[in-house]
Structure 1
Amino acid sequence: MKINTKPMDHRIDKTARLAGGYGPYVAKQGAEALLRRSVLACLLWEKNAYEDGGSVADNIKSLIPRVEPEKVFDIAIEARNKQKLRHVPLFIAREMARLESHKYLVGKLLPEVIKRADELTEFMALYWQDGKQPISKQVKVGLSKAFDRFDEYQFAKYNRNEAIKLRDVLFMVHPDPGQKADLFKRLADNELATPDTWEVALSAGKDKKESWTRLIEENKIGALAFLRKLRNMEQAGVNRATIQKGFDSINPRWLLPLNYFAAARKAPGWEREIESLMLNGFSQAPKLPGYTIFIVDVSGSMGSNISLKSTFDRLDAAMAMALIASETCEHISIYATAGNDGTRIHATTKIKPRRGFALCEEIENAKGHLGGGGIFTRQCLEYIKEQEPEMPDRIIIFSDSQDCDYPDRQIPNPFGEKNYIVDVSSNSRGINYQELWTAEISGWSEHFLEYIFACEGLDLQDIER
């Protein structure tokens, strides 16, 4: 028997392989890291390229008991506030409520993740998904506190005729009325004042041009609704100067880069103004110092939609993040990479340094000639290292981590001073091998650069000054 064998690489887990069993062995990771992976890029119960939505939800459910309650709490908060995910934080709260070890935090978690009035009813729909049951004390505490954050306008806007109504939740949890006794009575009696929203104004049969004009002039239309309805405003004949006033007055704080993309696709006549709004927002952001190499995975699996209802795919999300990086990094080079699954050879190219939507077009065009196969992370990094005359301060790879290289080849060898993998997928396993990457960042939030600032010990306030 041979004894002097090659030592085992303890960074890999040979029980599973990437890319649906086609690629390299997965990275060995702890329960907390795996939970973060599944949660922060998650749209519950929706299929992705290699895993069905039900298995993603089951994976999250199985991981929560294995992670410290405070860590689960923090991940749920991050999913809501940073990733702007609505459903998965509610799902986490529901699963925590089942566990003796975790339920004590539910009363604190719910008011932190419920930011729209209809999420009160959405949570109860989740709570009773497996059949009606008594509402636990911590759930009542959390929902009761959440009621306090909404006013009459918000209740009326989301007071829908659904199986579980807002008044039903009100009766179940009995929130402390405090200064809102009269408001809660109107909600209970279905006597809320009709909200002055664009939906109500337009459904009332009034002149659409007059309605849109009034809503813009009175600043009663939110940033997201404004961008989504630009084409409707055009078709209604709203004065161009009035629409421009809307651009000047909206607060884009909660807008994602993909919201700008969607608006430009639907209202191409306003692309310049949309792009200007987006770039002006980035111009206020602090710059990440030094030299950054940003690598965009344009492989076939990046064509998977980010959600069933979305018109955007993972590559759109990757291009949005590349756009942000190009505006907020002091010096940057951007590469696109894919390859050929048959030969298992990478194809990588450097992207022209353009700005805004033009940069996204360059990346999209590169996809066409780089092949529709998977990403070959090791080969890609070796190629870029040969092209670069200097060591970068950091390398950022934006990918779904579903590498297609041979399983017996060495794992990737990133060569930056710092090295990050930003994983857009909710696949349960990836390539975050121990001691290889500075950090794995899950999801496609524009806040990924803030995380990098923190990892590198950079003070945002000092840089802004």
Structure 2
Amino acid sequence: MKFNFLSKEKTAIVNHEKAKAFPLTAEYELYAAVVTTSLSASFYEKEDTRLERIKALIQKSNPVFVAKLAVYARNEMHMRSVPLVLIVELAKIYSGDSLISKMIVNVMQRADEITELLAYYQMANDRKGVKKLNRLSKQIQKGLAVSFNKFDEYQFAKYNRDGAVKLKDALFLVHPKAKDDSQQELFNKIVNDTLATPYTWETELSQLGRFKYSNEAEKQKAFTQKWEELIDSNKVGYMALMRNLRNILEANVSGFHVMKVCEYLSNEKAVLNSKQLPFRFLAAYREVKEMNFKYTTMVLDALEDAVMISARNIKGFDVNTSIVIACDVSGSMQKNISPKSKVMLYDIGLMLGMLMQNRCQNVVSGMFGDTWKIINMSKRNVLSNVNEYYRREGEVGYATNGYLVLEDLIKRKQITDKVMLFTDVQMWNNAYTKDSFANSWNRYKNIAPNAKLYLFDLAGYGQAPINIQKNDVYLIAGWSDKVFDVLHALEDNGSALNYINRIEL
């Protein structure tokens, strides 16, 4: 499918900083909004505003593209909530074939997503009363019935939670067909609430927390032993281990067990199978770095090793391709991605920028706000590089003067192949001179006609500071290192939408 990148509307628009901006088509705006949302308030948009915009854009978009976008968001961007929104909202306006059921089967990766989808369906359709989920969409019912066959007893038991919609409710509602006798027995266990209690770190620690201890030393010893037991069991998942590094160190486990944790964190197969978003490593790194424990350095090194392994599959550029990487550290980028997270858009931009720097040989990197400053860093320590940028963020101020990156190239008459900005794309000129981002790029193209500009949109507000797919300008959105796969797909003069549209349903 070929998409028309720019809206045909002639109406002038401005971004959130009141600077001239360029509209995107519904599909492109939906893509950017979806892959940059945690469905929580952003700097410029409230949570319900983003959700309402996504719902409106679904109605304006090609249904097949919406379905493929949901699969892309779940399987390549590793997002969980927003693909479920796409399924339910598309099902409201689309029926007639198996698109919705195929969409569901491709999206469902965890057993609790069955109940979460139904919970959102109930809320989105304003269902109240006793039979909140009656008259379920036939295609949703079909897709969920097939999805029940994807999970085993451990997976069902692990996510059999006491939520608004329970697994038992879902089973009665969608009537999945068991593929054999053993699966029918499993479905019966769900109905009778007899699923085996899974061995997880949550259940083990929860049981331990209910005991009464005579003193603090006894409690400390119990938690030390329990964490050592959990580590030895090899049943603590990769993400759970990263989230609990502080707890493990505070539990004062042995050096042998810390070493075992570090070996797992930096194990190539474990890293690649974990499918962690890059900023997860950064969050763990910062949490541990604040601690003054004897094994802190060992854990920090393991996290750096893990990031280097995760970056191996990123296609970089060789010494013959010159790159400029510019990270936006403006005030609007210093917004937490969700109320419960310490990670900011700022962090995601720095992390992605340093990952790309790590994979390129001929590269200049820096950050911009009121000014643009080149700060070249070693390729070897991605996480510590991000922290160094973070420490120095006040050095360039807090505006979004991205045009200064281009003006610096023009001033120095520096010919480069690729200019990459990691930003919320709310560009403006706080000096109020005639210079604008679009004008600066057009002037730069006069001296570097083969240069390409890549805007990595980390916020998805729905506009661009320059016409995309004109004059070698491209917009890529998302928080995962998978954005670099899209980057390389663009080498064939494609688009992010073409990349998504390649997905088979």
TM-score, normalised to structure 1, is 0.88
**What per-residue deviation string (whole Å, max 9, x for no partner) do you get for residues 193-240 of structure 1?**
010111111222283333322332232111111111112112222212
Q: Specify the alignment match of 2:423 in structure 1.
A: 399
Change in CA separation of 1:266 and 1:377 when aligned onto 2, cut-off 3 Å = closer
Distance apart, 1:10 and its partner CA: 9.0
Q: Does 1:29 find its partner at 2:64?
A: no
Local SS of the residue matching 2:94: coil
Change in CA separation of 1:106 and 1:12 when aligned onto 2, cut-off 3 Å = closer
Local SS of the residue matching 2:464: coil
Letter in 2 for 1:243: V
**What per-residue deviation string (whole Å, max 9, x for no partner) do you get for residues 278-308 of structure 1?**
2233246443232211110111100111112
Identity of aligned residues (%): 29
Tell whether the 8 Å contact from 1:24 to 1:408 is kept in structure 2 after alignment.
no
Distance apart, 1:337 and its partner CA: 0.6
Q: Does 1:62 find its partner at 2:56?
A: yes
Local SS of the residue matching 1:330: strand
**Residues 264-279 of structure 1 aligned to structure 2 (within 5 Å):** 264-268=285-289, 269=296, 270-279=299-308
Change in CA separation of 1:387 and 1:128 when aligned onto 2, cut-off 3 Å = same
Q: Does 1:357 find its partner at 2:383?
A: yes
Local SS of the residue matching 1:175: coil
Which residue of 282, 291, 301 corresponds with 1:261? 282
Local SS of the residue matching 2:419: strand
Tell whether the 8 Å contact from 2:263 to 2:302 is kept in structure 1 after alignment.
no
Q: Does 1:421 find its partner at 2:421?
A: no
Local SS of the residue matching 1:267: helix
Local SS of the residue matching 1:128: helix
Which residue of 57, 67, 75 corresponds with 1:73? 67
Distance apart, 1:372 and its partner CA: 1.9
Letter in 2 for 1:202: L
Structure 1 residues not aligned, in runs of 5+: 1-8, 340-346, 459-465
Tell whether the 8 Å contact from 1:13 to 1:28 is kept in structure 2 after alignment.
no
Q: Specify the alignment match of 2:496 in structure 1.
A: none
Letter in 1 for 2:202: E
Local SS of the residue matching 1:47: coil
Q: Does 1:97 find its partner at 2:91?
A: yes
Tell whether the 8 Å contact from 1:293 to 1:392 is kept in structure 2 after alignment.
yes
What number of residue pairs does the alignment pair up?
438
Letter in 2 for 1:190: D
Tell whether the 8 Å contact from 2:476 to 2:487 is kept in structure 1 after alignment.
no
Q: Find the aligned partners of 1:281 and 1:24 in 2 and give their Cα distance.
A: 38
Local SS of the residue matching 2:480: coil
Distance apart, 1:436 and its partner CA: 4.0
Q: Find the aligned partners of 2:376 and 2:96 in 1 and give their Cα distance.
A: 50
**What per-residue deviation string (whole Å, max 9, x for no partner) do you get for residues 342-391 of structure 1?**
xxxxx110012233233213322442121122x123333112333463x2
Q: Specify the alignment match of 2:172 in structure 1.
A: 171
Distance apart, 1:97 and its partner CA: 0.6
Q: Find the aligned partners of 1:168 and 1:432 in 2 and give their Cα distance.
A: 50
Q: CA RMSD in A?
A: 2.3
Letter in 2 for 1:395: V
Q: Does 1:84 find its partner at 2:103?
A: no
Q: Find the aligned partners of 1:233 and 1:443 in 2 and give their Cα distance.
A: 32
Letter in 1 for 2:462: S
Which residue of 308, 316, 333 corresponds with 1:287? 316
Distance apart, 1:332 and its partner CA: 1.4
Structure 2 residues not aligned, in runs of 5+: 1-5, 210-221, 290-295, 494-505
Deviates more, 1:110-119 or 1:248-257: 248-257
Distance apart, 1:417 and its partner CA: 2.3
Change in CA separation of 1:246 and 1:153 when aligned onto 2, cut-off 3 Å = same
Local SS of the residue matching 1:456: helix
**Residues 161-240 of structure 1 aligned to structure 2 (within 5 Å):** 161-179=162-180, 180-205=183-208, 207-240=222-255
Tell whether the 8 Å contact from 2:148 to 2:176 is kept in structure 1 after alignment.
yes
Q: Does 1:16 find its partner at 2:13?
A: yes
Q: Does 1:300 find its partner at 2:331?
A: yes
Local SS of the residue matching 2:136: coil
Letter in 1 for 2:422: F
Q: Does 1:39 find its partner at 2:34?
A: yes
Tell whether the 8 Å contact from 1:25 to 1:407 is kept in structure 2 after alignment.
no
**Residues 362-381 of structure 1 aligned to structure 2 (within 5 Å):** 362-373=388-399, 375-381=400-406
Change in CA separation of 1:408 and 1:30 when aligned onto 2, cut-off 3 Å = farther
Which residue of 487, 490, 493 corresponds with 1:452? 487
Q: Find the aligned partners of 1:401 and 1:78 in 2 and give their Cα distance.
A: 22
Q: Specify the alignment match of 1:443 in structure 2.
A: 478
Q: Find the aligned partners of 1:109 and 1:282 in 2 and give their Cα distance.
A: 29
